[in-house]
Amino acid sequence: MANLESDFAGIKSPNPFWLASAPPTNTGYQVMNAFKAGWGGAVWKTLGQPIVNVSSRYGALAYKNNKMMGLNNIELITDRSLEINLQEMKEVKEKFPHHALIASMMFETKEEWHDCIKRCEDIGVDGFELNYGCPHGMCERGMGSAVGQNPDVCEKITSWVTEKATKPVIVKLTPNITDITKPALAAQRGGASAVSLINTINSVTGINLDTMEPNPSVAGLSTHGGYCGPAVKPIALNMVSELTKHPDFKLPISGIGGVETWQDAVEFFLMGASTVQVCTAVMHYGFKIVTDLTEGTNEYLDSHNMKSIADLRGIVANKLKKWEELDLNYKVIAHIDPEKCIGCQLCYIACEDGAHQSIALVPGNRIPVIKEDHCVGCNLCSLVCPVENCISMVKIETGKPKLLWKDHPKNPSKQASKV
């Protein structure tokens, strides 16, 4: 059995699976149930000046049978008083001294930040997370993503916190920005010990076509909300990889965004995260899913003869290159396993109408045939095929050496230099 114990920028937890700051960490009751179920840490629902919430608050993107492949919310930070939150956080820490309890915070003035840091440290939190991410409600007041989107402000506020805090400080980044490395480096300059990403993405999930009201409807009106859940994982993975690969960025990363299964978690680790945080999957299925997260991760580590998450961390990030660095002479073509084929012909129509007309039908046979000399190796057919391992992409030995774009005959700048 691998060792899943985690030390994230000095914050220790029994495993790297934390609850993200969100409704599942609203109360001590929930966090204690989560720890009992096996979660290693929890980032408390963001503390700040009192707010009020609207009703309703969430919208979802359903896809086929999956009711919530993307979730969006127009909720703000905690709607409970700081006193009550601190009281419950204290109880959690007393009952679960070895689990990680992190205070998420969002304030306006330096004094407010300092006051909350002191009170949180007094009750024994293990670290802080600065919410620079919320894309709605709070940014209009100059907080949340308004901070995360402006590297100078991000650096300044981070330094306010780090000058006071004795516990590790994590800066939570907003994805609503073109270059994620800018605020991350600003956080590093501001003295942060780690970053976490992503917070939610600006979004509107849809419109109720009967009432012609946007979702979620608040008396017929709505506002743009924060998008999360399985649908956002690809965006989060890319952003995590950008930080892992950046030569000047040195801080540990807590990966967030669409983690639901152990596979998702392992992907974040491979991309460079040291812990992962989960919100939507718990809002959908409850705390229990952590069993599969820990067990599946453990199993994966064992099957790769790895001892801990550290052995996985970041080893795939460096396989993400600039397009120019990819070998243009590498070639794959599709292969259909006739034994497995069920004759749905989805691959045929996808390639015929949506790609490169490289799949043929044979009269009298439901099983399509790949036109090998046409196939460009785009993957589309293998992606639409409903049968596992039926269409595989087979490497073709071209016998040609690696060829990069800079050396490609079609590269205009190369042709220019030839003249």
Partner 1 sequence: MTKILKKSNTKAEEINKFSKIKPLLSQNEAVIEASRCLFCHDAPCINACPTSIDIPMFIRQIITKNIKGSAKTILTQNILGKACGQVCPTEVLCEGACVYNEMNEKPIDIGRLQAFATDHVIKNNIRLFTKGKPTGKKVAVVGGGPAGLSCAHELTRLGHEVVVYEANSSAGGLNTYGVAPYKYTNKDSQEEVKYISEIGFEIKANNRLDTKKLSELEKKYDAIFLAVGLGKSNKLNISGENLKGVYGAAEFIHELREKEQKITVGKNIIVIGAGNTAIDAAVETSKLNADVTVVYRRTEKEQRAYFFEVDLAKQNGIKFMYLTTPLEIIGKEKVEALKCIKNKLIEKNGSKPEIEPIKGSEFIIPCEMIIAAVGQEKMTDFYKEISNLKIDNGKIVVNKDFQTSNPQYFAGGDCVNGGKEVVNAVSHGRDAARGIDKFLKG
Q: Binding to partner 1 by residue 387, rule CB under 8 A?
A: yes
> How far is 362 from 306, CA to CA, in rounded Å?
48
Q: Binding to ligand FMN by residue 216, rule CB under 6 A?
A: no
Q: Could you tell me the smallest distance in angstroms from the CB atom of residue 255 to partner 1?
A: 18
Cβ atoms of residues 2 and 302 within 8 Å: yes
Among 19, 47, 103, 289, binds partner 1 (CB under 8 A): 289
Q: Could you tell me the smallest distance in angstroms from the CB atom of residue 44 to ligand FMN?
A: 9
Q: Per the omega criterion (within 30 degrees of 0), is the bond before 382 cis?
A: no
Task: Provide the token pair at 49.
Answer: 């000046």
Among 318, 365, 379, 398, binds partner 1 (CB under 8 A): 365
Q: Binding to partner 1 by residue 398, rule CB under 8 A?
A: no
Q: Binding to partner 1 by residue 287, rule CB under 8 A?
A: no
Q: Binding to ligand FMN by residue 172, rule CB under 6 A?
A: yes
> How far is 283 from 42, CA to CA, in rounded Å?
14
Query: Which entry of 134, 351, 378, 381 is annotated as an active-site residue?
Result: 134
Q: Binding to ligand FMN by residue 75, rule CB under 6 A?
A: yes
Among 2, 9, 11, 22, binds ligand FMN (CB under 6 A): 22
**Partner in contact with 228, chosen from partner 1, ligand FMN, none, beta carbon below 5 to 8 Å by kind:** ligand FMN
**Partner in contact with 154, chosen from partner 1, ligand FMN, none, beta carbon below 5 to 8 Å by kind:** none
Among 93, 292, 349, 405, binds partner 1 (CB under 8 A): 292
Q: Binding to ligand FMN by residue 237, rule CB under 6 A?
A: no
> How far is 409 from 14, CA to CA, in rounded Å?
55
Shorter beta-carbon distance to partner 1: residue 64 or 250 = 64
- Helices 28-37 & 82-95, crossing angle to 10 degrees? 30
**Partner in contact with 286, chosen from partner 1, ligand FMN, none, beta carbon below 5 to 8 Å by kind:** partner 1
Task: Provide the token pair at 400.
Answer: 């040609």
Cβ atoms of residues 196 and 170 within 8 Å: yes
Q: Binding to ligand FMN by residue 30, rule CB under 6 A?
A: no
Q: Binding to partner 1 by residue 370, rule CB under 8 A?
A: no
**Partner in contact with 22, chosen from ligand FMN, partner 1, none, beta carbon below 5 to 8 Å by kind:** ligand FMN
Task: Provide the token pair at 151.
Answer: 């590297």
Q: Binding to partner 1 by residue 342, rule CB under 8 A?
A: yes
Among 288, 395, 408, 414, binds partner 1 (CB under 8 A): 288
CA-CA-CA-CA torsion sign (290, 295, 301, 306): positive
Q: Binding to ligand FMN by residue 71, rule CB under 6 A?
A: yes
Following CA atoms 138, 167, 309, 247 in sequence, which dihedral angle do they give, to the nearest 10 degrees? 70
Q: Binding to partner 1 by residue 366, rule CB under 8 A?
A: yes
Shorter beta-carbon distance to ligand FMN: residue 239 or 334 = 239
Asked if 134 is an active-site residue, the reply is: yes
Among 71, 184, 341, 380, binds partner 1 (CB under 8 A): 341
Interface stretch with ligand FMN, choices 110-118, 272-280, 324-332, 397-405 (CB under 6 A): 272-280
Shorter beta-carbon distance to ligand FMN: residue 143 or 341 = 143
Q: Binding to ligand FMN by residue 264, rule CB under 6 A?
A: no
Pairing relationship of beta strands 127-131 and 100-106 according to DSSP bridges? parallel
Catalytically active residues are 134
Binding site for ligand FMN (CB under 6 A): 20-23, 45-46, 71, 73, 75, 77, 104, 131, 133, 172, 199-200, 226, 228-229, 232, 256-259, 278-281
